[in-house]
Amino acid sequence: MQTIKSNLFAILGSSFFILLSLVSFYLENWFFFLVPFALLIIYISIYHTKYVFLFILFATPLSINIEEFVTSVGLYVPTEPLLFGLMLLLVMYQLRSNILPTYIFKNEIIWAIAIYLGWIFISSCMSSHPMVSFKFLLVKLWFILPMIGFGVLIFQDRRYIRSFLWLFSIATNIVIVYTVIKHAGYGFAEKQSHWVMDPFYRDHTIYGAAVALIFPLLVGLYFSKKHDLFTQVILIVFILINLTGLYFSYTRAAWLSIVAAGGVWFLIAFKIKFKYILSAVLGISIVVALSWTEIQFAMAKNTSEHTTEDFGKRLESAANVTTDASNLERLNRWSCALSMFEERPIFGFGPGTYAFEYARFQKPENLTIISTNFGDGGNAHSEYLGPLAEMGVFGLLTTLLLIGTIFYKGITLYSHWGEEDKEMKVLLLAMLLSLVTYFIHAVLNNYLDTDKACVPIFAMCACIIVLEQRVTK
């Protein structure tokens, strides 16, 4: 009887799909043409949620912002509509049958996420632009809830953790190949490096962050287990493509984030005790403080520009705060963020409002050739100062709490992991180093308001939650 019902449903659904397609062609109306596909996607999302989830992971690096083509509304397709649908589906499933395992509500990462989202809600209520802030909150919800909720359910089968890393890495490499080929047509010039990744990424900084993000994942996949020769060759080719994309991204923060990830790998791999790390940090801080006058003098003499194609000079330009317009504009944005915090230290101006408010906080002496009087240049260029300006002191604290909890849980899990499952141990380390690249990069830029960063980061959080549960059983 159940089989008959399923077949009848399939026949009726197929007939309706064909009918709507014919109507679309007859009326020559693209909207009607999309209806059957939308219904098909809804059906697959309900009955084959796992494949939609995996498709989102693959599609994220390839998603395109339709704002540039058909509307003034910024929306990445196909990922954001699918994420919104999965969020609604997750809520309905949870209300109906409590599909989420109980251990998820006891995990510290979940609590940190809840506190983070809770403060976004509170500060949105006090926002100078409530509609902007509540839209910001909604976007955060459809990025985070499906990735964590369905991620925990799907990643309980560890094969899908490996599938996630493969799918996301393959898709990012597709974008890298597209970008490098397009860039080659301009002789790999620095100026064109800022936009050749369009339409997949809006500029070279977020593209560089994405390329850096997958480097540890590819290395982790290679060393996680003994592969056959074909798979080894594929991974080596992917790593070489990644390094090529990283170099020609001309993104200093991405290069430095890889170096930072290497340093963290050294600390974790050789089990350097925290007290030694803290002593080293304090020692370096004291040296910097005592030598600050000399450091400022050296930085004032640095005239290397970020527009150069020379790798060494471009790295040197990261410390140029005298003539490098990119660095000076970043300092301008940071100064505005601090001034905004001083005016509203508790609740801030509201999530997502920095771009609407920072113009009047620009000081004449901080303006650069790329500054705009109307303040329409974007965000605070920091994943840490942005929340400080928009959500006050607790915005920064909840952000740091979330990041700190992720790394504390991940590193603790890795240190207690046995050798019985070497593959997952290596992949866990790869994900931690991948997160390091992003949150180091986040000192200079912020992208957690996009699917490009939010989807992989919270998918990795779901992996850590699942792996911790498997170890503590």
Question: How do residues 273-313 score in pLDDT, each as one tens digit?
Answer: 777 777 777 877 787 666 656 655 555 555 555 555 555 55
| DSSP state letter for 358 | G
Q: What is the pLDDT of residues 327-361, one digit of tens each?
A: 788 888 999 999 999 999 999 999 999 989 998 89
pTM over 0.85: yes
- Expressed in angstroms, the distance from the first to the final Cα of the chain is 40
Mean pLDDT value across the chain: 85
Given this model, what pLDDT does residue 270 score?
79
d(CA 76, CA 288): 43
| Percent of the chain surpassing pLDDT 70 | 81
- Give the sign of the dihedral formed by CA 244, CA 246, CA 251, CA 252: negative
The answer to whether the CB of 56 falls within 8 A of the CB of 82 is yes
Please report the pLDDT score of residue 222 as a whole number: 96
Res 137: pLDDT: 96
- Overall average pLDDT of the 6-11 stretch: 57
- Phi/psi of residue 324, nearest 5 degrees: -75, 115
Per-residue pLDDT, 303: 56
The pLDDT of 425-446, averaged and rounded, is 94
What residue spans of 187-228 are helical by DSSP H? 204-224
